[in-house]
Amino acid sequence: MPSASPSWIVCKFGGTSVSSRDRWDTIGTVGRAHQADGRHPFLVCSALQGISDQLEALLEAAAQGGDPQEALATIRERHEALAHAMDLDSTAVLSEGFDRLDRLTNEVVAADPIPPRLRAAVLATGELLSTRLGAAYLSGQGLDVRWLDAREFLRAQDAPHVPPRRQYLSAACTSHPDPVLQDHLAQAPDAVYLTQGFIASNALNETVLLGRGGSDTSAAHFAAKLEAERLEVWTDVPGLFTANPREVPSARLLRRLDYDEAQELATMGARVLHPRCLDPVRRHQIPLHVRSTEAPEVDGTVVSADGPDVGPQVKAVSAKTGVVAVVM
């Protein structure tokens, strides 16, 4: 059994960060930079931007007795267009994933109602397709990339008393060092590993999901399993701000936060981080860095146990919309 390696860097890339060739070039640059510094990059990637919504539309059309083919065609076209932009053979890279989605769509049309197990399998397709594209592209750019099925190593907790919909669509996983995963990755220590966010498996080896936005949580679990040096969440903004910069142009970038402060912001509406991703890194004292693929030169926000204890006591203002309050 290998000793724990402190040099793993887990990097999560969201939908906007995996949806164009330019963004994948940035991902490759990030991976090479970590390798040059003697670290081992482990990449966790989301579905292409908007694809999870299209998969939801496919399911909704089938549930209403409609034709899911329009959503299916849109999903296929988006991935084929990106493959073309990457100079990849879309048939060679994506045919297996498309065939699987076609089979699942036929099952969805025949099901009444659509069981949560089948919903989870359909919604997982986005991450599986995007990571196949990314692995093929980065390999063609000279990186030794190993595609990893997240479901082989990320297992959902057994929750027999939880409703099936939650078991399959908003599962919870445990976070602890994983010698089996570390040993598996040690077989190719110079490789860049690329896997999926959002998806895991249960005790029956069925696909389950960690809830919408769950790629952050997947990455945090993998960081704990690898006893990583840090977790990097790469998104379309360079960090957490004192307010939503899209609504408050004068909002300032927060350079450092402690885990509790970041948890409060994520829970109360800051969409940069998923609320469930903080607990695994806090428990194992793994620093979390929020970075932007649009501005990779910006250091962004660092969330750790030693956030600043000086400065303004009110760090930021966040808000949730569409919330109903019931006063008893």
Query: Model confidence over 232-249: pLDDT tens digits?
Result: 999 988 888 887 767 787
121, 48, 31, 92 alpha-carbon torsion, rounded to 10°: 70
**pLDDT of 178-219, one tens digit each?**
999 999 999 998 999 999 999 999 999 999 999 988 899 999
Q: With 70 as the cut, is the pLDDT of residue 5 above it? A: no
Largest CA distance in the chain: 62
Using 50, 70 and 90 to split pLDDT, how confident is the model at 175?
confident
**pLDDT of 108-139, one tens digit each?**
999 989 999 999 999 999 999 999 999 999 99
Q: With 90 as the cut, is the pLDDT of residue 318 above it? A: no
**pLDDT of 71-120, one tens digit each?**
999 999 999 999 999 999 999 999 999 999 999 999 999 998 999 999 99
Judge whether 277 and 219 are in contact, CB under 8 Å: yes
pLDDT for 2 equals 42
Using 50, 70 and 90 to split pLDDT, how confident is the model at 3?
very low
Query: Measured between alpha carbons, how far is residue 241 from residues 79, 107, 129, 162 in Å?
Result: 33, 44, 32, 36
**Per-residue tokens: 309:** 């204890």
Determine how β-strand 230-235 pairs with β-strand 8-13: parallel
**Per-residue tokens: 265:** 């912001």
pLDDT for 315 equals 58
Q: With 90 as the cut, is the pLDDT of residue 312 above it? A: no
Closest to 293 (Cα-Cα) out of 223, 236, 241, 251: 236
Q: Is the pTM value of this prediction over 0.85?
A: yes
Q: With 50 as the cut, is the pLDDT of residue 35 above it? A: yes
Burial of 163 (0-12, 13-18, 19+ CB in 10 A): exposed
Task: Quote the CA–CA distance of 221 and 234 in Å, as a whole number.
Answer: 16
DSSP-assigned beta bridge partners for residue 180: none
Q: Spell out the residues 6+ positions from residue 220 whose beta carbon is closer than 8 angstroms to its own.
A: 175, 231, 276, 277, 278, 279, 280, 281, 286, 288
Task: Quote the CA–CA distance of 106 and 89 in Å, as a whole number.
Answer: 26
